[in-house]
Chain A
């Protein structure tokens, strides 16, 4: 009979619904990696809704020159498909740092970190609709039900934490279109499923009993323990029964680990100030960023941060009112993101922590016009054909700009990086070969990168 520990590992790997069980997850790859890893953990700053590249990290002076004119080519079908009128960016750009990367006025704080960042201006995705695009950026497939990259990474590497899940999603009131399935483990065992932490005292459903029942819990567990002895005798040596009983111990450990994690009292005032916890505008995302650092410190492999809810705004999805909407979204995330990068760096963690920023797609260079054709207060439609993401730390080459879009910022034309390539590169930095990280499902060896993907060597330090 195999050892109890190895049995428990198997049993815990055996799937389920909610997460919270990666602590025993076994690595799918031998010794965790295929080659030496640069990064041990990922923090994915998911900019839900699709920030506009030409208003953030990909300056396009041509748009201002042609503002209000028709595009000189027929644009592809977009979701709303209502305009081909060029919309010059309402934001000014400046060069920053040694690298001289050009960043818009929306990100004054992140701009001070450009020398640590690799900006990818030539991202390409496959879907123009939020939901499919969200599934795609997360799982490499536009359909519901495939494993999210956080699940793949935990499946590949196993978890380094013994009382926290390995894939945690931090939300502040907004779940992206496509819902919680963006963080699904799909056909992988559910032990790799993303666990969503809500803001507030009770981040996870059913982690603790309702207040009215809390006092009784110890007594109940004690009785359960006594009665379980009889169950073991009744069933005999059955591994599943054993594991079921053990689960109560693990669950209990988790109950105490989470409050400790959320307790920021030991963080310095300077740190809190750096993350913007004292400012209403930045407090929510600042909390997510600080929590992300604390989770990575505890050995959590993949932390995803979701865009905070802002009154009157629908994420980064500004089909109208882009000037105002993008400004507010940037204001609420810029300082915390810069704080995260600086804090990780100063603690010597940035080298081993891969930070990725971006949305499910970018936006069109044209205005999405209202029926009256008025160019004031307009926004932009979805654009997966060319957009910007950036990476920092974890073995990425710092201070570079990779790839380019055309003069209008519509299509990636130089050194295109497809989402599959991004995934392949992320796995590479984590020490895994995307072609060898497979799981047999439906008669096929499935991959995060499907049948595509190339590691973008230019992005590697």
Chain B
């Protein structure tokens, strides 16, 4: 050892008595510790690595995992001791006991370490992630309307958009394709706006009048417009009506959201308001009421947070929650902003100016958001219900008295003397007056028709058994989520255990007991629900216990349970799954995305690159309301661009930005940025009206172009980026099925309501398999077929129906043999061909084939086609067979 070092050490000793004996310590380190670190640890934990595992560098002092002098507090020792199954290092095998003893000894010595600290850049932002530079990226720039450019051809354009497109074509010496014939245009615009084919009568009317504007106005006013465009939106929010995972349980009231979206499109709800309602519909001051005045619209939108996959038995509930939040952040960022923010879960975004902190700023908002099953009646409806039952004759229900003899270690968690102990939140009228005589009763006011819910505070389940003393209408024993009357234990956001009347002791209280196998030590709450206009539930006590059997109970006076007289005049209520602010707080940064390796707490905030000064906003509650304001305020330019691009995509086959869900650096650039920005600026200035923008798009000259490609233009513009012709487009799965129903005369045009259970073939197997619905889906449009995650309809899947996993703004467009097999052999298609043929029985024979062509393709048959079809029939072919052949024609599933 050099004298220099001795001198230095002496100096240190003066300052730090803990380092006494550092010489020996250093020797010990060099002999026993460093070689082991080098051999067994540096491979993953070294500053030489670009991304050391767990962000840990052991080639220098590591204060985060070593607390000098305190072996018990040193995570490194815990890891190498293999005592915690989650943290066992090195992962390839335990170190010899003697080595572990050395490390322990070394830490006790004060972890002497001659190495200099590894300098890791303290970085709020990674190298290359410069917010100011990031803001200069086109997508984060303000939208600016440009005056339409000058064009040579003064006659072609019908809208400003046309002039942008034409100027770009002319710059390349190209011309737009000629105008499409009227039949093609009507078929195109009718499928585009309503998802249905034009009827022969509609075709005749248009051919006679030739009024394009009138057609567009008629279609935009059609209630079927909303059904078509809601489905595009549902692709973005991974809409599903079941949880997936093992049992594919139902998501309650998901269909209410689907109807909300249909209504929003039909009513042309300003898009910025639509977005605000999604993010914070429960918190907005001005709640929007449904057209019939019965219920609140705004909160229904918040159901979209919860359409993700839900585990029914998560063993690691913290991870499971983090995964759900990740899916929420992903969907919000992609759907609204076209950004892949979820990439920043584990590391700063590699391409976009999105640091990990921004991810956890948003994640904190989601972690502060829960979901409740509540009555969403409008104030007026609630008043009407209140008045109606107040006026009704009261029946008394006497719950009686019972003495519960608690055993040692048992807790009477809830005795229902009041609703404050467990902070029950109530909605609806059934529980509105609170408990009486220590019992909460949904028919306590003598009215069975009243509905409502009570939701307790959250708590960590402390015991292995929960006994509930209740007196309730017998449960159906059907799919539990559909049970209308129940006390549900929700564990880790999963409706886990349902306490219901057994039906064994009608009118009397009974104990129902469950073992908390899965909920034990999970975050839980109780939810007392009565959704039924008949039957009721009364709960006397909730006991937490380690005993399998309920506590002994002495009934002092029995319940006197009169069934209340029916009051059918009582107005109905509406239920919804609604977001609420739940224990708002910040989240800690998860280093490398791991919930077991937490970093600093991150204040709830949004994307800094879209925040003017980069400071964090003042947040009250979860932060959803502030998020909604930011999204439609500071982020409005990007929000509008992304949405306008989606509308363009659905009208013209591709977006102006083809990567519709990725406006980041790795996404494509706009093929015509001035056009996109001008449309977006106009959209914002015009009050975010979807219909106004679409009207302009479909009345443009561009939209009226023929789909016939010109060889010269095809060579100059092979991807059709300049839109030199209108693309031939295959219909999506739903319009194909809807067109089949429409043409065959089987379409039931009923709007809205609970979903139709899908038809399940014998080839679809697995857990959670539902009882099959009707083959023809009761004739309802495809949007009303229940989206059962694990049992999606094969016909839909063959035609690129999206899996409900995350935002899918661009569906795949395939041409695969299974489509041919499906249209040739599928039972539904054959059934519909038969029905179509049957529907023509009243049509004179010579008119049948021409009518079929007009129904299916919007045109009469060519003489040759008529002749072939007639020959087919003469040779023993059936009309149903001919119908089947027409379904299989490419012309049926493609739009020109």
Contacts and interface: CB of A to CB of B under 8 A. Distances in A.
Contacts of A143: 309, 323, 805
Interface in B307-349: 309, 311-316, 323, 334, 340, 342-343, 346
B246 interface: yes
A108 to B, nearest CB: 32
Greatest chain B CB density within 10 A among A11, A80, A128, A131 is at A131
A112 to B, nearest CB: 32
Given A129-B315, A144-B789, A230-B865, A371 B548 contact: yes
Given A14-B814, A442-B340, A77 B315 contact: yes
Contacts of A461: none
A244 B890 contact: yes
Contacts of A75: 85
B765 interface: yes
Contact of A184 (B246, B334, B518, B803): B803
A15 B813 CA distance: 7
A180 B248 CA distance: 12
Interface in B757-775: 761, 763-768
A250 B520 CA distance: 55
A235 B890 contact: yes
B619 interface: no
- Sort chain B's interface into a size bin: 35 or more
B891 A234 contact: yes
Contact of A18 (B244, B667, B797, B891): B797
Nearest to A202: B763
B433 to A, nearest CB: 40
A231 B864 CA distance: 12
Interface string A204-233: 111111100100110111011011101100
Interface stretch (A189-197, A264-272, A294-302, A334-342): A189-197
A131 B805 contact: no
Interface stretch (A60-68, A281-289, A407-415): A407-415
Contact of A247 (B794, B815, B864, B877): B815
A321 interface: no
Nearest to B517: A80
Nearest to A205: B763
A15 B890 contact: no
B598 interface: no
B597 interface: no
Interface in A115-149: 127-132, 143-145
Given A240-B728, A251-B817, A443 B763 contact: no
Greatest chain A CB density within 10 A among B88, B346, B667 is at B88
B748 to A, nearest CB: 25
Given A129-B313, A220-B881, A443-B351, A175 B765 contact: yes
A349 interface: no
B827 interface: yes
A330 interface: no
A90 interface: no
Given A144-B805, A175-B765, A227 B244 contact: no
Contact of B816 (A21, A171, A204, A207): A21
A20 B817 contact: yes
A191 B824 contact: no
B764 A180 contact: yes
A347 interface: no
Contacts of B885: 220, 223-224, 227
Contacts of A251: 817-818, 820-821, 824
Contact of B315 (A17, A128, A223, A247): A128
Given A179-B766, A224-B888, A443-B664, A81 B517 contact: yes
A189 B814 contact: yes
A18 to B, nearest CB: 4
A443 B666 CA distance: 6
Contacts of A444: 340, 343
Nearest to A236: B708
B494 to A, nearest CB: 12
Contacts of B789: 144
B269 interface: no
Given A15-B816, A175-B765, A228-B890, A181 B803 contact: yes
A171 B832 CA distance: 31
B825 A207 contact: yes
A97 interface: no
A113 interface: no
Interface string B517-547: 1101000000000000000000000000000
Interface residues of A, number: 91
B662 interface: yes
B825 to A, nearest CB: 4
Nearest to A146: B805
Given A219-B872, A248-B824, A250-B820, A17 B763 contact: no
A415 B664 CA distance: 41
B260 interface: no
Contact of B815 (A174, A220, A240): A240
A227 B870 CA distance: 12
A44 interface: no
A17 B803 contact: no
Given A230-B862, A235-B894, A243 B815 contact: yes
Contact of A17 (B316, B346, B797, B884): B797
Given A17-B801, A144-B803, A227-B885, A206 B817 contact: no
B889 interface: yes
A217 B817 contact: no
A244 to B, nearest CB: 5
A455 interface: no
B862 to A, nearest CB: 6
Contacts of B518: 79-81
A174 B767 CA distance: 9
Contacts of A191: 814, 816
A223 B869 contact: yes
A411 B798 contact: no
Given A190-B812, A220-B881, A15 B520 contact: no
Contacts of B244: 131, 144, 181
A250 to B, nearest CB: 4
Contacts of B717: none
Contact of B767 (A21, A179, A206): A179
B868 interface: yes
A275 interface: no
B827 A210 contact: yes
B422 interface: no
A129 B815 CA distance: 36
Nearest to B792: A17
A165 to B, nearest CB: 9
A17 B799 contact: yes
B817 A145 contact: no
B878 interface: yes
Contacts of B825: 206-210, 213
A230 B891 CA distance: 10
A261 interface: no
Nearest to A142: B323
A415 B93 contact: yes
A247 B817 contact: yes
Contacts of B667: 443
Greatest chain A CB density within 10 A among B245, B314, B824 is at B824
Given A76-B86, A220-B884, A250-B817, A177 B767 contact: yes
A32 to B, nearest CB: 21
15 contacts: A16-B815, A20-B817, A73-B83, A173-B765, A179-B790, A205-B794, A207-B821, A209-B830, A223-B885, A224-B885, A231-B889, A238-B728, A244-B894, A251-B818, A442-B342
Given A127-B315, A413-B82, 20 more contacts: A12-B816, A16-B812, A16-B815, A17-B818, A18-B818, A18-B822, A144-B309, A176-B766, A205-B761, A210-B827, A223-B877, A227-B869, A227-B885, A243-B815, A247-B816, A247-B819, A251-B817, A411-B88, A414-B92, A415-B93
5 tightest CB-CB pairs across the interface, nearest first?
A17-B797, A15-B812, A145-B805, A15-B814, A16-B816
